[in-house]
Structure 1
Amino acid sequence: MGTILKNVLIISPTENLMESFQSFDTCRDWEMDYCQDSFSALQRLKNSTYDLIIMDEGIGPLDPFKVMDYVFHELQKSYPIVIVGDNSKPEAIHENYQRCNYPIEQYNVDALVHYGKSEEKEKKLFSLEYLNELSDNNQEFIEESIVLFKNTLDAKFVDLQKAISTPDFEEARQIAHNIKPSFSMLGNDAGPVICNTICYDALESEIPELAQTLMNEYGLIVDEIEKQFPKLKAV
């Protein structure tokens, strides 16, 4: 049974949790990365992206909720997250995560697949959730932030194209690093991933195509913004 879930990060004191999922046919196509503690997991999450994160509730030194907080607010990333524990708390789907309990059963795996698909469907080009929280739903602040986003990236992409044509690929990597927070501010998932790839993983020969992909993503965001905020179209 195929699934959109491919890259899965398992965080657990032992490999038993990963082995539990590997025993199910549903998970045979998953590419699982394993981290024994939360610090090593956060280092991996800084430079990688996943379709699902599964955490044992007993991980340390940061517990799962501190990991979630760091991922959401410091890394400004969003993932479907599952916490696996004992039977002291009921299995449930909460706002930011799903909880299931040992031992892992087939219905748990099926629920995770459905959960991941639901999260995938909800992905959008951009979200105003962060700006709404930051400004207490101040519309003027939100619109000013969107204009700043557009003006900043218009200038940065000119600089990026110049760096590539020079060529100065170290400068191109630095510009991509500087661009990443703007995409994160608007809750876009693809932009930060592409920026990370340019910064840390891409060969110099791959950077021009990745930069074009990043600019295309920006163009889609701007088109969608202008549909929702017509008065900002001429700004």
Structure 2
Amino acid sequence: MNDKLKNSELKSILIIESNEDEVKRFVDVVQNNCDAKVTSFKSSVEAILWLQNNFADIIILEEGLQPMSVTQTIEYIQNELGKNAPIFISSTKKSAKNDEKLLQKPFTLEGLQKLCNKKIEVKQDALHFSLDYLTEISDGNTEFICGSIEIFKTSVSEQILLLEKALENQDHKKVGEIAHHIKPSFEMLLNDEAAGLCNQLIYKFNASEAPVQIKELRKIFEKIKKELETDFTLKKS
């Protein structure tokens, strides 16, 4: 086993590949050179369902992916699921040496080394929240900050459900009232985008735009909640 690759940060690989022989070849290359676990699917839909509850350090998409194309799959993974793992496209075509996103088939040790190097270079996206305001008003009181965060996670979750229900019932007045209620919660964590969406629902309600705005509001909330459960936990420890 290649000790350099064995000790790399690459631990989980997701590959979407319809050719079983190519999958087997890839798994063999990985098992012979590092400790990464390989999860494989034949279709983009299966992979997306798996990614909803699982994590991959690297994602490899087969060129000509079906039923969703490579572009559609990448957009869904990054925008809808909020995953920022490096994504490679595998192809039998000859690739330019400087094409970092293309992975040559049949899979080789050289390709695996390319994946490991890319993993080390990954940069994390900026967080969707800040604790600066809570820290300032509490003089850094950890108990107060933790309590405020717990209230945010439970209260806003409930209120967004009510917001979605009010829209479903076409109760536009109620939509505005709920948005007004949750706006300070997003302002508390300094997320201007969510606060701006609340303002639109409160003061400039548009029946055709509201469903998209509420969906985006939920998406932002879920991202903040996920980040609070990871980044803030690490900071406390």
Residues 5-154 of structure 1: matches in 2 within 5 Å? 5-24=10-29, 25-27=32-34, 29-87=35-93, 89-93=95-99, 98-119=101-122, 122-123=123-124, 127=126, 153=149
User: Does 2:223 correspond to 1:184?
Assistant: yes
Q: CA RMSD in A?
A: 3.8
Report SS of the residue matched to 1:5.
coil
Tell which deviates more after alignment, 103-112 or 67-76: 103-112
Change (3 A) 1:17 1:153: farther
2: CA distance between counterparts of 1:105 and 1:92?
Answer: 17
Q: Answer yes or no: is the 8 Å Cα contact 1:17–1:56 preserved in 2.
A: no
TM-aligned CA deviation for residue 111 of structure 1:
1.1
- TM-score normalized by the length of structure 2: 0.54
Q: Helix, strand or coil for the counterpart of 1:58?
A: coil
Aligned AA for 2:67? P
Structure 1 residue 117, shift from structure 2 partner = 1.5
How many residues are aligned here? Answer: 158
Cα distance per residue 1:40-72 (max 9 Å; x no partner): 111111111111111111220112221110011
Sort the Cα spacing of 1:218 and 1:105 in 2 relative to 1 into closer, same or farther, 3 A: same
Partners of 1:184 and 1:92 in 2: how far apart? 34
- Percent of aligned positions with the same letter in both sequences? 20
- CA spacing shift, 1:101–1:74, aligned 2, 3 Å: same
Does structure 2 conserve the Cα–Cα contact (< 8 Å) formed by 1:7 and 1:30?
A: yes
SS where residue 8 of structure 1 aligns? strand
Whose radius of gyration is greater, 1 or 2? Answer: 2
TM-score by length of 1: 0.54
TM superposition shift of 1:106: 2.0
Which amino acid in structure 1 is aligned with residue 109 of structure 2?
Q
Cα separation, 2, equivalents of 1:36 and 1:11: 5
Q: Give the deviation of 1:179 after TM superposition.
A: 8.8
Cα offset for 1:181? 4.0
Q: Shift of residue 180 of structure 1?
A: 7.8
The runs of 5 or more residues in structure 1 that have no matched partner are 132-141, 161-177, 193-212, 223-235
Instruction: Give the Cα–Cα distance (whole angstroms) in 2 for the partners of residues 13 and 158 of structure 1.
Output: 42
Following TM superposition, by how much is the alpha carbon of 1:84 offset from its aligned partner in structure 2, in angstroms? Answer: 0.6
Alignment partners' CA distance in 2, 1:43 and 1:183 = 17
* CA spacing shift, 1:158–1:37, aligned 2, 3 Å: closer
Seen in structure 2, the aligned counterparts of structure 1 residues 155 and 15 have a Cα distance that, compared at 3 Å, is same
Question: Are the equivalent residues in 2 in contact too, given 1:77–1:184 (CA < 8 A)?
Answer: no
Give the Å deviation of 1:7: 1.4
User: For residues 115 and 159 of structure 1, do their structure 2 counterparts lie closer, same or farther at Cα, with a shift above 3 Å needed?
Assistant: same
Name structure 2 gaps, 5 residues minimum.
135-144, 157-216
